[in-house]
Amino acid sequence: MIKKRMEEYIETIYEIAKKKGYARVKDVSQHFNIGSSAVSEMFRKLNEEGYVKYERYGVATLTAKGKKIAIALEKKHRALREFFTILGLDEKKADENACVIEHVIDPEIMDRLAKFVDFIKSHRDPRWLERFKTYYETGELPECPRTIKKDM
């Protein structure tokens, strides 16, 4: 099983490579605000595990195996961020929390959450969501609207 820290590196390499086509040790060390020797060591490990192609003092690019992980993380991140914004969190807080949780969430829970987000987004007027927002802000549970039955 891949470790959280390795996933963070793969994700960072992926994001940098989307802009530049590759990532250098310097790019990643600046991103994490750590020394280049620690990044070089992780690049070496990722290379040995088959997640990146990297030669010392060169550039790092993701292999198909590494890219698959990066894309899966990106999807998790997006679904989590959307879920948190649906709950009313601001974009920054939603993004920060998604970044932490995407590495530790159980796959079954993530699958259900992603489907829940898709379900919510597919409904143009989810009244219950407005009721939830009112409840969160006031602490008072609004009554359910009554369904009007038509006479037969």
Given pLDDT bands bounded at 50, 70 and 90, which one contains residue 152? low
The verdict on 51 and 78 lying in the same domain is no
- pTM: predicted TM-score of the whole model, two decimal places: 0.81
Task: Indicate if the alpha-carbon torsion angle 11, 13, 15, 18 is positive or negative.
Answer: negative
Vertex 78: Cα angle to 75 and 80 (nearest 5): 105
Given pLDDT bands bounded at 50, 70 and 90, which one contains residue 83? very high
CATH number of the CATH domain containing 87: 1.10.60.10
Question: Which of 62, 96, 112 lies at the terminal end of a domain, its last residue?
Answer: 62
Q: Which domain holds residue 44?
A: 4-62
The verdict on 40 and 87 lying in the same domain is no
- Report if residue 152 sits inside a domain: no
Read off φ and ψ for residue 52, nearest 5 degrees: -135, 160
**Residue 57 CA: distances (Å) to CA of 15, 37, 101:** 20, 11, 32
| Mean pLDDT computed over 105-124 | 92
Question: Which of 62, 85, 112 lies at the terminal end of a domain, its last residue?
Answer: 62
Helix and strand numbers (H, E) in the chain are 7, 2
- Report if residue 69 sits inside a domain: no
- Report if residue 144 sits inside a domain: no
| Mean pLDDT computed over 89-109 | 95
- Report if residue 31 sits inside a domain: yes
The verdict on 57 and 9 lying in the same domain is yes
Task: Indicate if the alpha-carbon torsion angle 60, 64, 66, 71 is positive or negative.
Answer: positive
As a whole-number percent, the residues of the chain with pLDDT over 70 amount to 95
pLDDT at position 61, please?
97
CATH number of the CATH domain containing 13: 1.10.10.10
Instruction: Provide CB contacts within 8 A for 87, sequence distance 6+.
Output: 136
The full DSSP string for 60-107 is EEE-HHHHHHHHHHHHHHHHHHHHHHHTT--HHHHHHHHHHHTTTS-H
pLDDT tens for 27-66 read: 999 999 999 999 999 999 999 999 999 988 899 999 999 9
The verdict on 53 and 88 lying in the same domain is no
The verdict on 81 and 34 lying in the same domain is no
pLDDT at position 123, please?
81
